[in-house]
């Protein structure tokens, strides 16, 4: 009898621990204000993970896709990857004295903002060619990591990797705990995002889908090498997003987060996941006090009136940074803020 009692005690302890873990009182999204957006996320996760629910989705089909720039981290007033390219041109300039008189490099080196604002698509391609190709894939990762550990945003005086949105980190963590498979689907460079996605978001390289250049396999002193070429393979933006999701994942998402016109087709593709419950959300940058307020007229992260209309019509959720988020960025120690340039 004493043995039976002991087993019962052990069992009860285990049950209690398990129940506490699943306690609904423990808020999975503490940085979100109570409201319809937060509720929609939590209700959705409950519905697709509860085996008794008619909306139950098996774990292998719980695909979540997140845009990156403006959805997971700051993109305004300039995409971080573009800032990297500009700074990289300056770093490389001493090895290229000919750039001093050659646009678009000359404008960057001299800091001629008015000339920089007039850059054409061809100019941008030239910048990307000299900063994003010609080296091995490993060398490029090293260059990026070296830059990312030190480069600071002048407006917030924070490392760029500290300008991620705390409420979105919580959503990713919450989905992960509920056996969702999380992908970043970004118009930005796949290699660029892979350089920091694992430590910053907990997203592995194979879960980052982005715009890519071609590579070329060869040998350097007999050692196999992949060299980055200045040729686009794939632009993962607008219609390119569902195309890339099909290419890389081969399944439709059930939940997708975006913030701009470039995410429209990804959200449509998610909603077309026939027979499954789906949730589509758009981060709206309406918080001039804590971040930025921009929308239809912004060149970066354009959130057009047409997208807003489609969101309303199709019952996509528009996340108000001002109203839905208690905090914007994670708390970081002064020490880590000081490690930047």
Contacting residues toward its own copies, per CB under 8 A: 2-3, 6, 60, 137, 181, 190, 194, 204-206, 208, 212, 214-218, 223-224, 226, 233-234, 239-240, 242-243, 246-251, 265, 268-269, 271-272
Minimum CB separation of residue 93 from its own copies in Å reads 29
Measured from the CB atom, the residue of 104 and 253 that comes closer to its own copies is 253
Minimum CB separation of residue 190 from its own copies in Å reads 8
* Residues listed for the chain: 341
270: left (phi over 0), alpha (psi -120 to 50) or beta: alpha
Measured from the CB atom, the residue of 75 and 207 that comes closer to its own copies is 207
Give the integer Cα–Cα distance in Å for 230 and 122: 12
Residues 268/243, Cβ–Cβ less than 8 Å = no
Q: What angle do CA 230, 232, 233 make, to 5 degrees?
A: 130
From the list 219, 76, 88, 208, the residue with the least C-alpha distance to 153 is: 76
Determine how many CB atoms are found less than 10 A away from the CB of residue 222. Answer: 6
Measured from the CB atom, the residue of 112 and 268 that comes closer to its own copies is 268
From the list 168, 179, 173, 204, the residue with the least C-alpha distance to 67 is: 168
CA distances from 313 to 265, 316, 321 (A): 15, 8, 21
Minimum CB separation of residue 221 from its own copies in Å reads 12
Residues 243/54, Cβ–Cβ less than 8 Å = no
Minimum CB separation of residue 314 from its own copies in Å reads 11
Measured from the CB atom, the residue of 3 and 334 that comes closer to its own copies is 3
Residue 78 is classified by DSSP as: S
Minimum CB separation of residue 200 from its own copies in Å reads 15
Residue 66 is classified by DSSP as: E
Give the integer Cα–Cα distance in Å for 213 and 210: 10
Minimum CB separation of residue 165 from its own copies in Å reads 24
Instruction: Tell me whether strands 152-153 and 223-234 are parallel, antiparallel or unpaired.
Output: unpaired
Measured from the CB atom, the residue of 25 and 220 that comes closer to its own copies is 220
Measured from the CB atom, the residue of 106 and 227 that comes closer to its own copies is 227
Measured from the CB atom, the residue of 276 and 322 that comes closer to its own copies is 276
Minimum CB separation of residue 128 from its own copies in Å reads 17
Measured from the CB atom, the residue of 204 and 288 that comes closer to its own copies is 204
Determine how many CB atoms are found less than 10 A away from the CB of residue 166. Answer: 16
From the list 34, 36, 35, 63, the residue with the least C-alpha distance to 48 is: 63
Minimum CB separation of residue 149 from its own copies in Å reads 19
């Amino acid at each position: 009898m004493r043995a039976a009692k002991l087993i019962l005690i052990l069992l009860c302890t285990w049950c209690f621990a398990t129940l506490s873990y699943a306690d609904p009182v423990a808020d999975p999204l503490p940085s979100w204000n109570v409201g319809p957006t937060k509720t929609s996320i939590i209700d959705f996760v409950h519905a697709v993970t509860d085996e008794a629910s008619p909306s139950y989705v098996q774990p292998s089909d719980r695909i979540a896709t997140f845009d990156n720039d403006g959805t997971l981290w700051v993109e305004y007033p300039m995409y971080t990857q573009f800032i990297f390219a500009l700074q990289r041109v300056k770093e490389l300039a001493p090895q290229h004295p000919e750039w001093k008189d050659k646009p678009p490099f000359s404008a960057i080196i001299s800091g001629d903002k008015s000339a920089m604002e007039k850059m054409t698509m061809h100019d941008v391609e030239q910048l990307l060619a000299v900063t994003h190709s010609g080296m091995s894939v490993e060398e490029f990762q090293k260059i990026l990591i070296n830059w990312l550990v030190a480069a600071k945003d002048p407006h917030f005086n924070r490392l760029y990797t500290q300008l991620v949105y705390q409420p979105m980190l919580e959503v990713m963590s919450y989905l992960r705990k509920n056996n969702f498979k999380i992908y970043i689907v970004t118009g930005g460079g796949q290699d660029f995002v892979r350089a920091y996605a694992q430590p910053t978001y907990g997203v592995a390289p194979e879960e980052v889908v982005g715009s890519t250049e071609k590579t070329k396999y060869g040998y350097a002193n007999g050692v196999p090498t992949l060299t980055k070429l200045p040729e686009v393979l794939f632009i993962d933006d607008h219609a390119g997003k569902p195309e890339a999701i099909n290419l890389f994942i081969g399944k439709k998402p059930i939940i997708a987060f975006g913030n701009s016109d470039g995410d429209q087709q990804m959200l449509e593709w998610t909603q077309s996941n026939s027979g499954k419950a789906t949730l589509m959300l758009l981060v709206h940058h309406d918080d001039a006090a804590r971040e930025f307020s921009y929308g239809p007229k912004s060149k970066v992260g354009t959130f057009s009136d047409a997208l807003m209309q489609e969101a309303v019509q199709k019952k996509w959720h528009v996340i108000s940074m001002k109203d839905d988020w208690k905090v914007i960025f994670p708390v970081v120690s002064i020490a880590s803020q000081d490690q930047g340039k």
